Structure formats: structure tokens, C-alpha cells
């Protein structure tokens, strides 16, 4: 059974710091991995999507890496800002095709202090 774990559960950093969020999954047979942002009481915003054949994706200050063989992904946030404060969720599509069914980690709640 595929399980997704995110560490740490919570993180607080001062503004301007670079930071890394970690995601691990137990079964390397994934179709893709996606990072989302969730603000309190809100839905999810897709940040980055990495296909199983890719190693990383970048968007602005965000960079996500994927090491499928070791079952790990990281989300790197450069020069963090207070507006980055949110919960970040990692999710995988398990299997060899895009079923659209996502298995989520518990999330990392980030607080960036001004």
C-alpha cells in the first residue's frame, strides 16, 4: 500500500531564508508527483507537477526534485516571504497510468516570519 510522508510537520523560518520541505513515498511505482499549497480553510493550488521520468521542475522561487528510486521528493523555496506561509502538500499518482487518484502526505505547515 502506497504511503506518503512529509517531514517536518511544521516549520517556522524568518523571512528571506531558503528552505527545503521533504516528501517520501513507500512505493516507487508512481506515475507523477505533485506539490500543492493549501491556505487555511481553502482548496488546493497546484505548484509543481513532476512526471515519473523527470528529475525536477522549477517555477519562480520554487524547485521540486524527484528521486523515484529512493522514494523521495523535495520542495525548495528560495528567499522565503511571509506570503509563502501555508500548508504544503505532496501527493503521488500511484501506478503506471494517470488515474487521477492522488495519495497525499499529511502536509508541512510553513510559517515565514517578517
List of residues contacting another protein (CB under 8 A): 34, 36, 41-46, 49, 51, 89, 91, 97-107
- For residue 8, the surrounding DSSP H or E stretch is none
For another protein, the closer of residues 19 and 103 by Cβ is: 103
For another protein, the closer of residues 57 and 80 by Cβ is: 57
Count how many Cα atoms sit within 13 Å of the Cα of residue 112 in the half-sphere of its side chain. Answer: 18
| Alpha-carbon gap, residue 109 to 12, rounded angstroms | 8
- For residue 32, the surrounding DSSP H or E stretch is strand 30-38
For another protein, the closer of residues 18 and 45 by Cβ is: 45
Residue 47: CB minimum distance to another protein, A: 9
Amino acid at each position: 500500500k502506497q504511503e506518503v510522508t512529509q517531514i517536518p510537520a511544521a516549520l517556522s523560518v524568518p523571512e528571506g531564508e531558503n528552505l527545503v520541505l521533504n516528501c517520501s513515498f513507500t512505493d516507487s511505482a508512481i506515475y507523477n508527483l505533485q506539490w500543492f499549497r493549501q491556505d487555511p480553510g481553502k482548496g488546493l493550488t497546484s505548484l509543481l507537477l513532476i512526471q515519473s521520468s523527470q528529475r525536477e521542475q522549477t517555477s519562480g522561487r520554487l524547485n521540486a526534485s524527484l528521486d523515484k528510486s529512493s522514494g523521495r521528493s523535495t520542495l525548495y523555496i528560495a528567499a522565503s516571504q511571509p506570503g509563502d506561509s501555508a500548508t504544503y502538500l505532496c501527493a503521488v499518482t500511484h501506478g503506471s497510468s494517470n488515474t487521477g487518484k492522488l495519495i497525499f502526505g499529511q502536509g508541512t505547515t510553513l510559517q515565514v516570519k517578517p
